[in-house]
Structure 1
Amino acid sequence: MFSCNNDDVEYEFVQVAVPELMSKSDFRKSVEITSPKNIEKAGKIYAYSNFIFVSDVNKGVHIIDNSNPRFPKAIKYLKIPGNEDISIKNNFLYADSATDLVVFDISDINAITQVERLEDVFDIYNTIRIPIEAQIADYANYDYEDDIIVGWTVKRERREKVDNSVLIDNAFDGIRAFANGAESNVGVGGSLARFQIVDNYLYTVGSHAMAIFNIQDLASPTLTNTQYAGWNIETMFQADDYLYLGSTNGMYIYSLNNPSSPEFVSEFVHWEGCDPVVVDGDYAYLTLRGGNLCGQQESVLEIIDISDKSNPVLAARHELENPYGLGIKDNLLFVCDGTAGLKLFNKTDPLKVKELKNIKNIQSKDVIPLQNSLLMIGDETLYQYEYLQNDVRLISSYSLN
């Protein structure tokens, strides 16, 4: 709908995202460690020791005691405004808080303490994602130097029709994390994450930049390097001294031969689509979710031959409905196919993956295949499954709100 005034200036009604602002000084004082509370919008999951950490998108992290997987219990809440991801090593928890990196000592889960905060190490524009329903963003009252964006309010407004409006990038921006738990003292994250701990380094990736932190002194990390990573990066996975970055347009491979400065090796290009990736041996498995803002093509599982890291090649493709995260346990590949449920594939022959089971009537977003059980999150519910022969069986489902 639009109308024209007498001067022939065109107007239209648009959905405008107006940032909710907080001063940086107040923002940095707002971290709290409190008793459990309901989750407003469940994000990613992370496992460490007998605990499961569930992010409350842009607000903080909920800690669940999973000593008894049949009866998980929420025990603590870390209020961390502007948070998207965490990663843990040796009882030190690293979390993004908008522009900052915050460190917590969780050695006593009942007496968690904040021990460090590195300020302005992340790009301000990689913090809180603009609501998907917004058409433009209004930054008129935003002061880059003094303000932090802690949320958005969407309003329908009549505005003059112009060509240079601020366009919205609704890719999965923000410093988000992934840790695959290669060491027993490092936690395990899901495939949608953006943090990754490898030895004495914490790697974080935003939409375009990678920030590398030296965490040899766990309580006092230092920013070692920030470098360009690629275009519209969404996820990070580590395997065999390589980083695999999933973007809306492809997969980037970086070598960790020089851990403080990852070296670009190659890029696999695909059509535009939301793209998490996991790796096992000579093959990378990635899902592409088409439709809406993720892309205009179909939704698929792609298997990439990465035996030659300098020349990744598409090896196979399997159609899906609306996939999100995925994970691997031995010869089983778990794919969260959104509203189509959780799908199990046999990947004994990666070129001919075979669907074994589709757990329907649930919404699935991401999985973490642990040694003895499978964690899955979807529709504000945490699911846990035990492994069977080419199958899984539900242990518990835990409502997060």
Structure 2
Amino acid sequence: MKQYILLLVLFSVIVSMTSCDLSESGPPDSVSGYAPVYLQKVGSDTIRFLPPEPTVKGGKIYIKDDILYQVELYKGIHIIDISDPEHAEKIGFYEIFGCTQVTMQDNYMYVNSSNDFLVIDVSNMMAPKVVDYKKNYFKGIAFPPPPEGGYFECIDPSKGIVIEWKRGTLQSPKCRF
């Protein structure tokens, strides 16, 4: 019986080794994958009040009085009137590229814009004003990789910060996960 089990194990190992492809092949010339979309400049002049937008990648929330602020990951902040909780209504959107965090004190909103730190006066909700801006305040904040595994165009920091990924045909991509 022991010889039978040993023979079966040996046979299984041999069969499994024949299915291994140990050759290293480079990236294909043309393949479907993700390319980064860059924002070249992040600063106080890139903050805008816009009409309401749909929530796609909702993040953290903050409630002040009858207003709920919800982060839209890497895009900005939804402004939602919750004075009637049964009928909450989006009333606007602050476009803040790279935003992942929000908190408030009085009429000041504290947010990140990628690695930068912003303090925004929102006393006039439709005309937010950046009152403090610290570039590269947060070290090491990185954007997430593409939404799914496979080939993608490598990030080039000299082009700016990645604000999203677009699926398309890539030519000889060097990055993969």
**Is the TM value for this pair above 0.5?**
yes
Structure 1 residue corresponding to 2:146, chosen from 117, 124, 131: 131
1:333 aligned partner: none
Residues 1:151 and 2:168 aligned together: no
Classify the secondary structure of the residue corresponding to 1:63.
strand
> Unaligned regions of 5+ residues in structure 2, if any?
1-22
1:139 partner amino acid: C
The number of residue pairs the alignment matches comes to 154
Structure 2 residue corresponding to 1:21, chosen from 30, 35, 38: 38
Aligned equivalents of 1:81 and 1:65: distance in 2? 22
Classify the secondary structure of the residue corresponding to 2:85.
coil
Aligned equivalents of 2:27 and 2:127: distance in 1? 54
Q: How does 1:78-227 map to 2 (within 5 A)?
A: 78-123=94-139, 126-139=141-154, 142-144=156-158, 147-155=160-168, 168=177
Aligned equivalents of 2:132 and 2:149: distance in 1? 35
Q: Is the 8 A contact 1:11 1:158 kept in 2?
A: no
1:61 CA displacement: 0.5
Q: Is the 8 A contact 1:46 1:53 kept in 2?
A: yes
1:44 aligned partner: 60
1:135 partner amino acid: G
1:75 aligned partner: 91
Deviations 1:194-223 (A, max 9, x none): xxxxxxxxxxxxxxxxxxxxxxxxxxxxxx
Q: Is the 8 A contact 2:152 2:170 kept in 1?
A: no
Tell which structure's C-alpha radius of gyration is larger.
2
> Unaligned regions of 5+ residues in structure 1, if any?
1-7, 169-401
Aligned equivalents of 1:135 and 1:126: distance in 2? 23
Q: Is the 8 A contact 1:134 1:154 kept in 2?
A: no
1:86 CA displacement: 0.5
Q: Is the 8 A contact 1:15 1:133 kept in 2?
A: no
Aligned equivalents of 2:99 and 2:160: distance in 1? 16
Q: Is the 8 A contact 2:49 2:126 kept in 1?
A: no
Aligned equivalents of 1:71 and 1:86: distance in 2? 24
Q: Is the 8 A contact 1:100 1:122 kept in 2?
A: yes
Q: Over the residues paired in the alignment, what is the CA RMSD in angstroms? A: 3.2
1:94 CA displacement: 0.7
Q: Is the 8 A contact 1:17 1:134 kept in 2?
A: no
More helix by share: 2
Moved more, 150-159 or 61-70: 150-159
1:339 aligned partner: none
Q: Is the 8 A contact 2:34 2:170 kept in 1?
A: no
1:37 to 1:153, Cα distance in 2 relative to 1, 3 A:
closer
Q: Is the 8 A contact 2:151 2:175 kept in 1?
A: yes
1:35 to 1:47, Cα distance in 2 relative to 1, 3 A:
same
Aligned equivalents of 1:129 and 1:86: distance in 2? 18
Structure with the greater relative contact order (CA < 8 A, sep ≥ 6): 1 or 2? 2
Aligned equivalents of 1:135 and 1:107: distance in 2? 45
Aligned equivalents of 1:156 and 1:31: distance in 2? 32
Deviations 1:140-178 (A, max 9, x none): 6x134x622222223465859xxxx7565xxxxxxxxxx
More strand by share: 1
